[in-house]
Amino acid sequence: MRHRPISSRLFVDNRQRLAARLGPNSLAVVNANDLLPSNLDGTTTYIPNTDLFHLTGIEQEQSILLLAPDAHDERQREILFLRQPNAHVAVWEGPKLTKEQARAISGLDRIEWLEDFRAHFHHLMCEMETVWLNSNTHPRAVVEVETRDARSIRETQRRYPLHTYRQLNRPMREIRLVKSAPEISLLRRAATITKEGYDRVMRYVRPGVHEYEVEAEFLHEFTRRRGRFGYQPIIASGSNACVLHYLSNDQVCAGGDLLLLDVGASYANYNADVTRTLPVNGKFTRRQRQVYNAVLRGLRHSVAGLKPGKLAKVWQKEGELFIEAELLKLGLLRPRDVRNQDPNQPALKKYFMHGMGHPLGLDVHDWTASSTPMTVGWVMTVEPGIYLPDEGFAVRLEDNIVLTLDGHLNLTQDIPIEPDAVEAAMRRRALRPAFRRSVSRR
């Protein structure tokens, strides 16, 4: 566990919030993610299941949580199953959680070994009527590999065909959309680590550095502060920034270009998602600043538009109309382009083709619901952009915003974003030793 311990009260409260939504005689099953293979005998880095973490704080593979709030035996109402530690596993993989350690992390009283799961599960299935099973039903998810959840669903329905089955992702979405105060604190920590990374990079970037060297500066700062990359970083100079999910990060940053950085830290599995656009030589050109300010105004407008009760699709449309007006001012669109546009493919999509933002939390693209109005406790990214491949640059800016009772809390407000502030931050390069070409440039 890289992050500092988290109070188990967070996970206890989350389980109580879920239990209140399950209905009578219900059993919920939450599986850990698989440890995925790479090539030959290799495996990828383990990624905890975020629903299981949200409910238990457990980050260990093969773990299973059973929740049965109405079970007759009170000790059957919450049970966590873990791999049993042994000497062989300790040598090859490191120590696994003891029951005492799992209790301290999760706040669960009942911890059992995985080998006893089948008996306890059968007992509860004989008592319960409705079974809540998990699956990845995110609208943009492409699931091509059979998951642990999929295997669990198939086997459970085969053995117990007459139960009523429901999707656990629905109540999980409800409780994960609204962040509690402890979750906001963890997101704030991820944002603070991200700020330290941006501070370091703004002092480092100059003509001649490679994109991957900039990536390394972020990695250094995140790692030393107990963080990780929340997602694959986008370090895109010049026209590379016009590729929305540019991941090569292998080109030289040239003087006169802009450098688009879409990089966020993860801390305790909670993520920041931040974008800034920097002038490689430390100063925006007149044209770059014009476009930059248009995007910045769009960001300010959309932050102000985040209000409880508003649907995300309405907010998106409001943001698009604002960017459309900015594109008209910049001369990129003409009034007749707007008048004659196809409603299904608005003219602004040539220059701004993605969403205005998304919920943020344990997943970078956290649970969302197009039909659910925003409410206090939502955390949203706001990320307008203008992409100009014909001019060889793009500008995207992104902040992380909490909807509060009295407005908004900007978790990333300390990362310079005003163009003058960005230039001032980059002038601090003079405080660093003279740049030296790395041996990798041969």
Contact present, 275 and 260 (Cβ < 8 Å): yes
Residue that terminates a domain, selected from 145, 161, 176: 176
Average pLDDT over residues 54-66: 98
- Are 251 and 150 contained in the same domain? no
Beta 111-113 vs 78-82: how paired, if at all?
Answer: parallel
The encoded tokens of residue 403 equal 């909807």
- Are 88 and 186 contained in the same domain? no
Contact present, 257 and 232 (Cβ < 8 Å): no
pLDDT band at 437 (very low <50, low <70, confident <90, very high): very low
- Are 367 and 430 contained in the same domain? yes
- Are 172 and 210 contained in the same domain? no
Contact present, 53 and 362 (Cβ < 8 Å): yes
Question: What's the pTM value of the predicted model, to 2 decimals?
Answer: 0.94
Residue span of the structural domain in which 345 resides: 181-441
- Are 220 and 160 contained in the same domain? no
Kindly give the residue spans of alpha helices, DSSP state H, lying in 20-163.
50-56, 87-93, 99-106, 117-127, 148-159
Residue that terminates a domain, selected from 176, 193, 213: 176
Asked whether residue 2 is domain-assigned, the answer is no
- Are 74 and 108 contained in the same domain? yes
Residue that terminates a domain, selected from 176, 191, 217: 176
Beta 164-167 vs 130-133: how paired, if at all?
Answer: parallel
The Cα–Cα gap between 83 and 60 comes to 9
Looking at residue 52, its pLDDT comes to 98
The encoded tokens of residue 381 equal 């990214």
pLDDT band at 144 (very low <50, low <70, confident <90, very high): confident
Query: Given the structure tokens 């596993």, which residue do they identify?
Result: 89
**Residue 117 pLDDT greater than 60, yes or no:** yes
Question: Which residue, 316, 313, 302, 271, is CA-closest to 176?
Answer: 271
**DSSP structural state of residue 146:** -
